[in-house]
Amino acid sequence: MIFETHAHYDDSAFDGDREQLLEFLAAHGIEKIVNVGASLKGVEDTVKLMEKYPFIYGAVGIHPDEVGELDEEKIKWLHSLCSHEKTVAVGEIGLDYYWNKENHEVQKKWFVRQMDLAKETGLPIIVHSRDAAKDTLDIMKAERADYLKGVIHCYSYSKEQAKEYMNMGYFLGIGGVVTFKNGKKLKEVVEYAPLDYLLLETDAPYMAPEPYRGRRNCSAYLTYVAQAIAEIKKVSYEEVVDITRKNARRLFGV
């Protein structure tokens, strides 16, 4: 059974068939799903999903592209949701210098503030970091994020950076990119990192693996991701599914 550690089933891409799709996934090898909030609306909808489906858990947090909508009142609201019995992480939080939708200083401020939420509540963090390798690591070190647990979602940086994160006890989230012909850098990271530090994730509806690249992604396609990891690491498909599932259970406590 596959543990899906990062999906956005609240996304409007699933409005037409959300219920059927989720029932299908639960019946076809997807054991658990962490639905990850990214905006205030996304967090609200994540809570609805985790309350409706026994196999869905939630992460509450605001994506760096959306932190303009945060204030201390909203942080209090997020804090209250952290104590929900099915909330398993604070996320996704971090820095995104690719889309650059929010000023870097504003992004950094709310990344730190949301890391505080994790420190206050004992939850792990789900970190989104795009084109912001140095600042992400600098902030996490300065904030003693090694005292927290977490995952670097959609890992896209170097082997050297991966080593730094693993030394801090962090997992690396591996998704569709590992199946891409131009995913050489990630393949090298997967070859290098012990299986004990990897998690399976889709980021659905985005980042569908080959042979569905460019289409709407869903957790059923994690079989292609697990297969690609198995080939790189020269282990069986079952071993990849089994160990990444144990890793996810250990991290999220479910």
3-state secondary structure of 124: coil
**10 near Ni ion, rule: CB under 5 A:** no
Distance CA 204, CA 213 (A): 12
Q: How far is the CB of 230 from Ni ion (least distance, A)?
A: 24
- CA angle (69, 71, 74) in 5-degree steps: 85
- Edge-first strand order for the sheet with 30-36 is 2-7, 30-36, 56-60, 87-96, 125-130, 150-152, 171-174, 198-200
Size of the site for Ni ion (CB under 5 A): 1
The stretch near Ni ion (CB under 5 A) out of 47-55, 162-170, 198-206, 214-222 is: 198-206
Of residues 134 through 193, those in contact with Ni ion by CB under 5 A are none
> In terms of CB distance, is 45 or 203 closer to Ni ion?
203
The stretch near Ni ion (CB under 5 A) out of 165-173, 181-189, 201-209, 239-247 is: 201-209
> In terms of CB distance, is 102 or 203 closer to Ni ion?
203
Query: Which residue has 């647990």 as its token pair?
Result: 149
Q: How far is the CB of 7 from Ni ion (least distance, A)?
A: 8
Q: Which residues partner with 125 through β-bridges?
A: 90, 150
Contacts of 206 (CB under 8 A, 6+ apart): 8, 217
Report in angstroms the alpha-carbon separations of 59 from 2, 84, 125, 211: 18, 10, 9, 29
> In terms of CB distance, is 7 or 233 closer to Ni ion?
7
**45 near Ni ion, rule: CB under 5 A:** no
The stretch near Ni ion (CB under 5 A) out of 20-28, 195-203, 219-227, 246-254 is: 195-203
> In terms of CB distance, is 68 or 146 closer to Ni ion?
68
Q: Are 207 and 175 in contact (CB under 8 A)?
A: yes
Q: Which of 50, 161, 203, 217 binds Ni ion (CB under 5 A)?
A: 203
Q: How far is the CB of 14 from Ni ion (least distance, A)?
A: 14
Distance CA 230, CA 100 (A): 35
Of residues 50 through 109, those in contact with Ni ion by CB under 5 A are none
> In terms of CB distance, is 5 or 244 closer to Ni ion?
5
> In terms of CB distance, is 96 or 168 closer to Ni ion?
96
> In terms of CB distance, is 130 or 149 closer to Ni ion?
130
The stretch near Ni ion (CB under 5 A) out of 68-76, 80-88, 101-109, 202-210 is: 202-210
Q: Are 54 and 86 in contact (CB under 8 A)?
A: no
Report the Cα 175 to chain-centroid distance in Å: 10
Binding residues for Ni ion, rule: CB under 5 A, are 203
